[in-house]
Amino acid sequence: MTRLSVNINKIATLRNARGEDYPNLLKTAQDIISFGAQGITIHPRPDQRHIRYSDALELKGKINTELNIEGNPSKKFINLVNEIKPEQVTLVPDSEDAITSSAGWDTINNFSFLSDIVEEFHSNSIRVSIFIDPDITMLEGAKKIKADRVELFTGPYAKEYNIDKLKAIEKYIQCSEVADEINLDLNAGHDLNQDNLTFFIKSIKTIKEVSLGHALISESLYTGLESTIKSYLDILK
């Protein structure tokens, strides 16, 4: 079964819109877990426009499931992760002003940089996932960097799904086959929803975890958070 980690950035965006503490991020995270999700994902950006660094610290030790912290490994981010020691950190190559993650790491040209960061996080017993495009060369590079997992950027798949889903999934299947050969675990995330996730998971049965936020929270406006989470869990069985 593929695990569901819910990205709660959008909850923080809603809270920040009024400058107060409603909805409360910790309470929402705990409710999401009680509804069946197996993980919580946060992505604190430098401008703290949704998740704040203080949010990350507040979540520490207060959710009884895996915490995944995503981000570009600036010194401030690295210090935060080392202080919290989440179960997983996902390294993404976002610029400071990026609206959302839109491309994966070049694991070849950033080999030394990423290797040092992975080694540091491993020294604190933190599992490391590297966000990459569905590219075998980048996947093999992540293995050489000694990452525990890669998160496949599924934005291109989601864009092409309604045009030609067989073509859309092709590179991801190829990556999954190579990942299995070299013993590298796979996560996936970005623009996945209840429509395109079903085919993705049926096509690639080795995905350890999907990190979902924007679509899941948007869909929950219509069907409710608990019902939406349970619908995704049914897909991932």
For the residues of 46-107, what is the DSSP string, one character each?
A: TT-SSS-HHHHHHHTTTSSSEEEEEE---HHHHHHHHHH--SEEEE----TT-SS------T
Beta carbons of 93 and 72 less than 8 angstroms apart: yes
- Sign of the Cα torsion 48, 53, 58, 63 reads positive
Q: Give the strand pairing for 88-91 and 66-71.
A: parallel
Active site annotation includes 43: yes
Going from the N-terminus, what domains does the chain have, and what CATH number goes with each? 3-236 (3.20.20.70)
For 136-193, write each residue's pLDDT tens digit.
Answer: 999 999 999 999 999 999 999 999 999 999 999 999 999 999 999 999 999 999 999 9
For 128-142, write each residue's pLDDT tens digit.
Answer: 999 999 999 999 999
For 43-94, write each residue's pLDDT tens digit.
Answer: 998 888 899 999 999 999 899 999 999 999 999 999 999 999 999 999 999 7
pTM attached to this predicted model: 0.95
How many whole angstroms from its chain centre is CA 226?
Answer: 20
Which residue among 43, 50, 151, 219 is the active-site one? 43
Active site annotation includes 50: no
Which residue among 66, 151, 190, 209 is the active-site one? 190
